[in-house]
Structure 1
Amino acid sequence: MEYPKLRRLEAYPARQQGRDMVALRDPQGYTRNLVLLPPNVYFIASLCDGTRSLRDLQAAYVRRFGDLVTSDQISSIIAELDRKMLLESETFLAYKRRMDQEYLALPNRPMISAGSGYPADPRVLLHQIRQMLLEAGEPQPLPDLPLAAIAPHIDMDRGWECYGRLYSLLGASIQGDRRPLVVILGTCHGEMEGYFALTAKNYLTPFGLVETDAGLAEGLARAAGMEGLGDELSHRSEHSIEMQLPFLCFIFGGADRFRLLPITCNSLHAFVSDRRSPSEDREVAAFISALKGLLSAMEEEVFFVASADLAHVGRRFGSPLPLDAVILSSVTAKDKEMLRPVEEGDAEGFFGYIAAEGDSRHVCGLPPIYAMTKALDGRRGNLVHHGYWFDPQEGSAVTFAGLVFPR
């Protein structure tokens, strides 16, 4: 491989047995485990952009570190990166094709966050959710299950209080014996084609199988003028939709007590860069119009969830400096300013706030929050809780919030 190219991976500082390392994570999920590289090896990997030859990499290494490295050593490093499926190569593409075909042949989407984002054992999971809701205290219930909510998708342990406060309120507000259609719009953290993608696959959970309404998925896709259901593979390793399902199973009384319409949402970064509203794009506008049509036809039985974390700040997310209390306080204050338009039903105001910042705080929940707020067409929401998870070792934080939009 004369001109190696690194795949799109997340990189952040890490330590292993007291040594500084760089961790690589695959948001597409083809490489399930973290790959830890020494900084000098990561330096080589980071230069693999498809335009540099092995000789270029060798010369850059010598300039950077002042150490001699042979062409055979460079070739060996590239071969190891390829073996770990970190490069865009024939090796990886053949592996990806096999994995994709196996997934598309499945009737149900397997769990990918059980055992990491939440407990895999249903008894442990049930106990944890009960404890989270108990610690949230007795909420003041709404007259009915709200029309929509915004929820975190961070790991349960890290979003404990926010999950507890939000789902305690939702559970207390359910009236009667209903089997609603739950439409979950979730951030897609990996690569996907198009701005939105549906799936006909059911979702597996520790509490059983949650049925996807395949007919409605197909109808929504047709109404939006999509080709098929869109990029169904975007659901394969995306955790944002899955993270809501254990809580929904709990508050509705089982995996068979609601129907699901899962939707992955692609990045809107191009619109942020251009300072242009996403609604000016034909594909985005058509999909939001289709969501509005669904809401109009099924308002009494539909419940929307935007599965969305907020800011990602600190060293893990690209900042050269670790996060401190002063910066974190500023980030949380900006979050609340940013969410004010959402509470007022103003999707464009929410987008405009992030665009004015150049998305410098890396708000991963922009796509689902924007799409849902736009589809709700001016309906107002209420902030239930705002929180954050802070990692003092990495000097990084993720913020999140719970909001409800009453009927």
Structure 2
Amino acid sequence: MQTPLIRSVEAFPVEQQDQTFVCLRDPTGLAPEPILLGMGAYFIVTLFNGKTSLPEIQNAFAARFHETIPLEKIEELIAALDAAFFLDSPAFADRQRKVRDEFLASPERPAALAGLCYENDPGRLRLELASFFDPPDGPGRAPTAKKAASLAGLIAPHIDPRRGAAAYAHAYYELMLHEPPELVVILGTSHYGAGPQLFTATRKNYATPLGAVETDRDFVDRLAARYQGDLFADEMLHRSEHSIEFQVLFLAYALGARGYKVAPILVSSFHEMVAGGIVPASDPRVNSFLDALRAELAAESRRVLILAGVDFAHVGRKFGDSFAADSDVAARVQREDLDLIANIQRGDPAGFFADIMKDRDARRICGLSPMYTQLELLSGHAARLLKYGIAMEPQTESAVSFASLAID
């Protein structure tokens, strides 16, 4: 491999024994294990652009570190990265085909993050999730009385459940307070969707340690037939995306795994519309999806909940800002987030997008696309803010904000 090409993967610093390393991680899970690199090796990997030859990499290393690295050492690094599926190569292509075939053949979408972001054992998981509901931050473990009405919509975080625990708890406590839904349309943030299709569904049931939650295949198929695009073109995105997985996990805890069905739909970035100043509903792909889903919902006699799995601001050095996310930045982010949330509370999709456009999404609202879609579907419905939070990351000088809201 004379001009190696690194795949699009995450790279972030890690401190170990007073030394700085760079961790490479594949968010798609196609490369199943992360790799730690020293700073010299990481410098070499930054030159794996598919164009730079090994002698050129060797010369660049010598110019940077004032020492010569043998070509065989570079070749050993290439071989290790290729064996771990971090390079765009025939080995990775074979791996991708195998994983895709296995996923598409399975009737279930596995619980990808069980045992990593939450307990895998059902008993320990119930205890862990129950603890999120405990006061003073949580709303309590079980409602004492239920309201007769059902919720039209719910906004919940998709941050790691252990960091967003209280916001998750307030969202799903509110769900338990109301008449339970019979169909839950889940609009999840697609972090890695980059193709022309903005909306991606699956017919697969979502597995959880508490039981598999059934996907309404008939509903999804009717929606796909109405939609002008291909709802299944990027179905592999569901395999490792956490934004829907976390919602299904909490649904299974709050409602059990039976008695309702879900329609899991990932919504990819509207960044190009923000960049172009284009209102999303005027984009034919968005408009077609909204029309198709509205028509299906209009024909429904079941109680339907539209659930968005979203986060809000992503600021600080980890996300490309030149500044560190400190307490002053967090206070500013909270003020701006609450201004944005006021549009959700009014059920105002146009105002929501206009607020984003004021600074061209400078805070990187991670749930922009599913929240906007939800707002269009529930335009005019009033929402109540249940819980707001900011997770500070001092080690990366960054912060992520999130919130839960109930839509009546």
TM over 0.5, shorter chain: yes
Q: State the one-letter code of the partner of 1:215.
A: D
Aligned with 1:144: secondary structure? coil
8 Å Cα contact 2:109-2:207 kept in structure 1: yes
Q: Does 1:207 align with 2:244?
A: no
Q: State the one-letter code of the partner of 1:75.
A: E
Distance 2:277 2:134 in 1: 44
Q: Does 1:307 align with 2:309?
A: yes
Of 306-315 and 140-149, more deviation after overlay is shown by 140-149
Which runs of 5 or more residues in structure 2 are unaligned?
Answer: none
Q: 1:65 offset after TM fit, Å?
A: 2.5
8 Å Cα contact 1:27-1:189 kept in structure 2: no
Q: State the one-letter code of the partner of 1:359.
A: D
Residue deviations 1:303-329 (CA, integer Å, cap 9, x gap): 111000111222332334432111121
Counterpart for residue 242 of structure 2:
239
Aligned with 1:348 (options 332, 347, 350) = 350
Aligned with 1:316 (options 292, 315, 318) = 318
8 Å Cα contact 2:150-2:181 kept in structure 1: no
Residue deviations 1:42-84 (CA, integer Å, cap 9, x gap): 2222232223222332233233323222333333322222222
Q: Residues 1-400 of structure 1 correspond to what in structure 2 (within 5 A)?
A: 1-135=1-135, 136-137=138-139, 143-174=148-179, 180-193=182-195, 194-227=197-230, 229-252=232-255, 254-298=256-300, 300-400=302-402
Q: State the one-letter code of the partner of 2:217.
A: A
Of 335-344 and 55-64, more deviation after overlay is shown by 55-64
Q: 1:285 offset after TM fit, Å?
A: 1.1
Q: 1:143 offset after TM fit, Å?
A: 4.9
Of 282-291 and 296-305, more deviation after overlay is shown by 296-305
Distance 1:200 1:213 in 2: 7
Distance 1:12 1:321 in 2: 17
Change beyond 3 A, Cα 1:228–1:313: closer
8 Å Cα contact 2:310-2:402 kept in structure 1: yes
8 Å Cα contact 1:217-1:229 kept in structure 2: no
Q: 1:396 offset after TM fit, Å?
A: 2.0
8 Å Cα contact 1:12-1:317 kept in structure 2: no
Of 37-46 and 201-210, more deviation after overlay is shown by 37-46
Which runs of 5 or more residues in structure 1 are unaligned?
Answer: none
% identity of equivalent residues = 37
Q: State the one-letter code of the partner of 1:169.
A: E
Of 164-173 and 257-266, more deviation after overlay is shown by 164-173
Q: 1:115 offset after TM fit, Å?
A: 1.2
Q: State the one-letter code of the partner of 2:188.
A: G
Q: 1:190 offset after TM fit, Å?
A: 1.9
Task: Give the TM-score normalised by structure 1.
Answer: 0.92
Q: 1:390 offset after TM fit, Å?
A: 1.5
Distance 2:286 2:92 in 1: 31
8 Å Cα contact 2:222-2:296 kept in structure 1: no
Q: 1:109 offset after TM fit, Å?
A: 1.0
Q: 1:141 offset after TM fit, Å?
A: 6.5
Aligned with 1:116: secondary structure? coil
Aligned with 2:86: secondary structure? coil
Task: Give the TM-score normalised by structure 2.
Answer: 0.92
Change beyond 3 A, Cα 1:146–1:237: same
Distance 2:342 2:406 in 1: 13
Counterpart for residue 405 of structure 1:
407
Q: State the one-letter code of the partner of 2:200.
A: A
Change beyond 3 A, Cα 1:357–1:212: same
Change beyond 3 A, Cα 1:209–1:391: same
Aligned with 1:210: secondary structure? coil
Aligned with 1:355: secondary structure? helix
Aligned with 1:235: secondary structure? helix
* Cα RMSD (Å): 2.0
Of 270-279 and 302-311, more deviation after overlay is shown by 270-279
